[in-house]
Amino acid sequence: MRTIALIFFMLISLTGVKAQELNCQVSIIVDQRTEITTNEQNILDALEPVIYDFMNTTQWTKDKFTVEERINCNLQLQVQSIQSTGLIEGSLQIQSSRPAFNSGYNTTVFNFQDDDIRFEYNIGQQVIYAPNIYRDDLTSVLAFYAYFIIGMDYDTFSPSGGTKYFTEAQQIVTNAQSSGGNGWISNARGKRNRYWLVDNVLHELFSPLRECSYAYHRKGIDGLYDNQEAARKEIYNALSKLIKVTGTRPNSLNLLNFVQAKSTELKNLYSDAPAKEKNDIVNLLKRIDPANSPRYQEILN
């Protein structure tokens, strides 16, 4: 359980103060090409604190968190169009991180841009999540990512520790499919939406990716303080598990999302590594994600 793991990391506050699971920062920006009226800006101004309160005050799990244990995450809504009726369209950037053991360093766990954002919001509208009930797209999108963020975080502390939260996120997808939105259905353009994000993570073929996430963070990132060389070896071994996923689901959303989120981190981790270590990790990353080979080649510089 995540709490037990964090006790081991000495991150639990001695004050006993309890908090909700997420420490979520929220921002809303309007595309420079989008012109909005004063009334439409008022809608956006009212929406931002509503999203903030919803993410940070909803109790998403039955686990007890202290302030220090909360999962750090960010939501940035980029508005591409808004109507006076409150219909908002755009994209949502979601990012979460978790601390490395005995360090002030935070590693990115999840970084994803959802381009299928379309919902209605009017000033004074309540945003309340109720399990197994579809209320509206705004509530469902936010609840989906709350559970997905928690699932990703728990997976880094125990093997497949986030399953129950991914299952909750998948139920949200199922309930929301009646809305007909592209983010909730399997036959939308491409496979870069909420449906595939959670369907993949719960599929047996992607179990090596979840094994990788646990080993990468728990044995690699958390071991950097004690022994960087040994930690890098664990990171290489963890990433090697992704070869199985590449063989069955090459260029899959979850696979590429994980590796690309780690590219800058890996470049920094291997900056002082011996040449052989650098070559080995670069060759591995190119095999997993050949389309982004130039990005990984930078590790050698």
3-state secondary structure the chain: CHHHHHHHCCCCCCCCCEECCEEEEEEEEECCCCCCCHHHHHHHHHHHHHHHHHHHHCCCCCCCEEHHHCEEEEEEEEEEEECCCCEEEEEEEEEEEEECCCCCCEEEEEEEEEEEEEEECCCCCCCCCCCCCCCCHHHHHHHHHHHHHHHHHHHCCCCCCCHHHHHHHHHHHHHHHHHCCHHHCCCCCCCCCHHHHHHHHHCHHHHHHHHHHHHHHHHHHHHCCCCHHHHHHHHHHHHHCHHHHHHHCCCCHHHHHHHHHCHHHHHHHCCCCCHHHHHHHHHHHHHHCHHHHHHHHHHHC
Distance between CA 294 and CA 66 in Å, rounded? 42
Tens place of pLDDT per residue across the chain (301 aa): 555 454 444 443 333 445 799 999 999 999 999 999 999 999 999 999 999 999 999 999 999 999 999 999 999 999 999 988 899 999 999 999 999 999 899 999 999 999 999 999 999 999 999 999 999 999 999 999 999 999 999 999 999 999 999 999 999 999 999 998 999 999 867 789 999 999 999 999 999 999 999 999 999 999 999 999 999 999 999 999 999 999 999 999 999 999 999 999 999 999 999 999 999 999 999 999 999 999 999 999 8
pLDDT at 2: 57
Give the length of the chain: 301
pLDDT at 4: 47
Distance between CA 23 and CA 280 in Å, rounded? 37
Distance between CA 169 and CA 254 in Å, rounded? 15
Distances (CA, A) of 73 to 93, 97, 131: 10, 6, 22
**Quick count: other Cβ atoms within 10 Å of Cβ 20?**
18
Angle of CA points 258, 261, 267, to nearest 5°? 115
pLDDT at 9: 44
pLDDT at 301: 86
Strand 18-19 vs strand 65-66: parallel, antiparallel, or unpaired? antiparallel
* Dmax (CA) of the chain: 60
Beta-carbon contacts of residue 238 (< 8 Å; ≥ 6 apart):
211, 212, 213, 215, 216, 219, 220
